[in-house]
Structures are given as C-alpha cells and as structure tokens.
Structure 1
Amino acid sequence: MSTITAPSENTTGEQAPARSGAPSLWRSLALRAGAVVALVAIWQAVAMARVWPPVFVPEPAAVWEQFLRTTGEGVSGYTLQEHLLVSLRRILLGCLYGVTGGVVLGLLIGMVPTLRALLGPLVTFVRTLPPLAYLSLLVIWFGIDEEPKIWLLLLAALPPVAVATADAVRGVHEDYLNAARSLGARGHELPLRVVLPSALPEIVTGVRVAVGVAYTTVVAAETVNGVPGIGGMVRDAQRYNQTDVVVLGILVIGLSGLLIDFLLQTLDRRLVPWRGRT
C-alpha cells in the first residue's frame, strides 16, 4: 500500500515544465546564435567572392573597424553613442506624444459615433501616407531644427495607436459596461475604469506597431539637419560612399529596435498578464 504515489505524481507533474523549460530556452538561444553566425558567414563569403566591389558590399571586418572608430573617434563630428542617444530621444518624444494622443483619440472615436464619422477617415488618411510625403511641409512650417522631426515621428506613431484603440473600444462587451453601472459606476467613470482596461491588450499591441513605424521613420526624419542622429550619420556616409558606415548605421538601428521591442514585450507581459489566459 505504501507504494501508492499520487503525491509524487503531482510533484513530478509540477517539475516537468521546469526541467523542459531550460533546454527549450537554451535551444532557442542556440538557434538564434546559429542564425546570426550563418548570416555573417554568408555575408563574408559574398564579400570575399567579390561578386560586387567592396564599395557595394564591405566585409564584416570593415564594418567592425568602423564600429571601433566611430565609438572612439566619432563620425560627422559625433561618436556613435551620441548619434544613437539623440535618435532615441527623438523617438521617445515623438512616440510619447503620438501614443498619448492616439489613445485619447481612439477612445473618442470608439465611444462617440459622431466623432468616429468625422475623425475616422482623417486618421486613416494620415496612416496611409508615407512619412516623406509630409516631411517637406513640416519643414516649411517648423523649420529645420528639432520640431519637424518630433512632429514627423508623432504623426507616424499616432494613427496605429488610434486605430487599435478605437477598434478595441468598440469591441468591449456591453455586459462589462452594464455590470459596472449596476455596481454604481457613473458614466464619466466608464472610460477609465472599464473601457480602457478591457481594451488594454489591443492598445499595447498598437503601441508596439507605432514604435516600430516611428523607428523606421527616424532615418527619414533625420535627412534634414539630422546630425547628430543615426539617420544623419547614414545620410552623410551615403554622400561619400562610405558603405561600411551605412551598414553600421543599419545594424545599430536594427539591434536597438530589437531591444526596444523586447522592452515593450516585457511591458506587455506586466500590464496585460491575462493575455492568452482568459
């Protein structure tokens, strides 16, 4: 009788995910590292084969040398770190204004049918425009300093958040609102206490999309008086056929974008822990 092992079966059942989780994590990291190594190897092979001249396809070693030089001596009058920090500051300000405005606008569009009819087409119109389409207009309005860059990133980030918020608000079940009213919630309390929390998963997804759009727009934003800035650094390098610096700038933008998206995913898990569980 003493060999009945119901408790031990529960114990092993609880420990199994822990034992399988670590190998899965290491396997994922190994696959990602292997993919990076394979890409660098292909890049090196193409560069060594001289299919295209080095001015078109520089070797990875040349890009690494530029990385060491730009982080120490600098390029276009600033170090790589200074270029990156300025670009990140512009993205932060533009996304902060754009996300805030997008959430407010999305709530209004989603909850007020009249505003939905008036503002919905305008948001869609701005969302479909490429950033370079109105960059020149922003330069005419605000000059060539920081204002047009921030406005461009704001306009790039606002529409995705507004659309995601409006759709999420319209998808909030009426039972949630009725339950809140039955518990004593007043009409002006519903947007912040019921509608916004219910729509939060879709809003966070919209924020991730908006930050990605803004990050891809930063190079366009910095084509006008963008030094210091990663986009300005790439523009100056392109003028002098410094392909290794251009590739370095692209890699820095991509890697920092991956880091920002990872931080947003972490924030998503903290703000919306119930996603996929209910």
Structure 2
Amino acid sequence: MTRPRRPATLSAAHSVLVRVAAVAVLLALWELLVLARFWPPAILPGPGQVWDQLLAASDGGNGQGGYAGSTVVERLGVSLRRVGYGCGYGVVVGVVLGLVMGLVPVVRAVVEPFVTFLRALPPLAYLSLLVIWFGIDEEPKVYLLVVAAFPPVAVATAAAVTGVNRQYVEAAHALGASRLEVVRTVVLPASAPEILTGVRLAVGVAYSSVVAAETVNGADGIGGMVLNAQRYNQTAVVLLGLVVIGVTGLLIDTAVLALQRAVSPWRGRA
C-alpha cells in the first residue's frame, strides 16, 4: 500500500512554523548576549532598543520627520524604487542579450568574456567611475544596479536557451513556425525557470548594492540612514536598517521564487 500524501497546506504551515521558531530562537540568543553584558549597549543594543528605534523612525510627527527628515517607510520606498528601476532595466538587457548569446554562437563567443568580466567586478569597483561620468544624483545609483543586475540574467538566459531540447525546436519548425515564433512559443517558455533563477540572483546583487550606491549623496534611502547612523554611533539605528534591508530582500526573493514555481510547477517533483 502506498502512504497517503499529506496536503500541501500542511507542508506550507509546517515550513512557516519552522521559520517562525528559527527567528524566535535567534531573537532569544540576541537577548541573552545583551543580558550577558559581553559588550556595552552602545556596541550591541538589544532587540527592544531596535524596536523602539523602529517606532521612532516610523513616526513622521516626532519632531525629526522620522529619522533625519524621512520615515523608514519613505526611505525604504526610495531604495526599492531604485532597485526596481535598476533591476527592471537590467533584467530586460540581460534577457535580450542572453537570448542573442544563446541563439547566435558567434555573438556568445564575443560577448560572454565581457559579461563575465562585469559579473566578477564588485559594484564598489565601478561606483566611483559612474559618479565621475554621471554625477551624484539618481543616475549613477540606477546605472550601478543595472550593471550589477544584467550579467547574472544574461548568463542564466544564455545557458537556458542553449539547453532547450532541439527536438522541440525542430518540431516547431516542421509545423511551419517562423524563427521568431519558435523563440516566443518554445525557447522562452522552456527557458523561463532558469531565467527567473538569474532574476533571483540579480535582485539579490542589486539589493545588496543599493546600500553602497546610497552612500554617495543617498541620505534619502535606507542605506543613507545606515550611513548617517554609523557616523553618530547610533548602533540601534544601524541594526534597524540592516534588519529592514534583510527582511524586505527576503520578501522580494520569496515573491520571485513563488513566480518561478507558478511558471514551472513541475520543477522539484518526481
């Protein structure tokens, strides 16, 4: 007899409970370290202090406009807007370039070394160059995220396109489909899961890079809040910024992963 399969809802609930328990354990360990007084509160504030800073920085009527003139939500919105623009442009460039690289071997041989070169560079390595070229306004921050985001997408797309089953392509051609129709109806759907994997990587790289971009005249973003708090030794605010960045990054990654599962529900199943 085969064992009955547990409903997917129970599995999802179990996963949520495990994650909640892991967060609770982490907070408990953090509080224990604070109570043990290994470091002074100025070095390691407790979860309660970070929570108080969150409440204060979220209150636009506290006399400081939240924190240094902007609330946490406003700062987060600015950073997410930059990530959205940078990743949006980067994903479009990466998908188009990856398709061309995967479909035209000569182009891949010429372009792939440059894409790999950019992918190997840390964002801080070319941030100063972008500032020299475009100034210290929004442009260098968005361009930084574009350059950081498109190489993972291009590499993942090219690899996915070259891995498409040739029998599907030949069958589409035999049925009278044009080259563009084959790309639209066969190549892209078959490559979508790997492309979304590249998008996940791109979003992670871009979000981790936005803090570095906001250290240059980025006082209105969440990274600017972290930088300003670091200057004045406000450790609780620094930890608050890191927690906000980490939690929102996790939510974005979860959303992309859910989209990937919706596009390819067969992946990971026997």
Q: Does the alignment reach a TM-score above 0.5?
A: yes
Change (3 A) 1:186 1:29: closer
Match of 1:39 in 2: 26
Whether 1:101 and 2:90 are equivalent positions in the alignment is no
Change (3 A) 1:27 1:195: closer
Residue type of the partner of 1:67? L
Match of 2:44 in 1: 57
Residue type of the partner of 1:17? R
Distance 2:34 2:227 in 1: 23
Distance 2:184 2:24 in 1: 48
In the TM superposition, residue 274 of structure 1 has moved relative to its aligned partner by 3.3
Match of 2:6 in 1: 17
Which shifted more, 120-129 or 184-193?
184-193
Correspondences of 1:1-278 after superposition (within 5 Å): 13=4, 17-18=6-7, 21-72=8-59, 73=62, 74-277=66-269
Residue type of the partner of 1:27? H
Distance 1:257 1:178 in 2: 41
Aligned residues: 265
Match of 1:6 in 2: none
Residue type of the partner of 2:86? G
Distance 1:88 1:25 in 2: 28
In the TM superposition, residue 270 of structure 1 has moved relative to its aligned partner by 2.2
Residue type of the partner of 1:51? F
Residue type of the partner of 1:112? V
Alpha-carbon deviations, 1:16-54, whole Å to 9, x = none? 533xx4544443332222211111111111112221121
What TM-score does the superposition give when structure 1 sets the normalisation length? 0.91
Match of 1:4 in 2: none
Distance 1:22 1:101 in 2: 38
Distance 2:241 2:107 in 1: 42
* SS of structure 1 residue aligned to 2:58: helix
Alpha-carbon deviations, 1:208-251, whole Å to 9, x = none? 11111111111011110112111111010001110000000000
Distance 1:274 1:23 in 2: 20
* SS of structure 2 residue aligned to 1:212: helix
Unaligned 5+ segments in structure 1 are: 1-8
Change (3 A) 1:137 1:66: same
The structure number with the bigger radius of gyration is 1
Distance 2:20 2:108 in 1: 47
Distance 1:48 1:96 in 2: 45
Residue type of the partner of 2:140? P
Computed over aligned residues only, the root mean square deviation of the Cα atoms, in angstroms, reads 1.8
Distance 2:6 2:211 in 1: 44
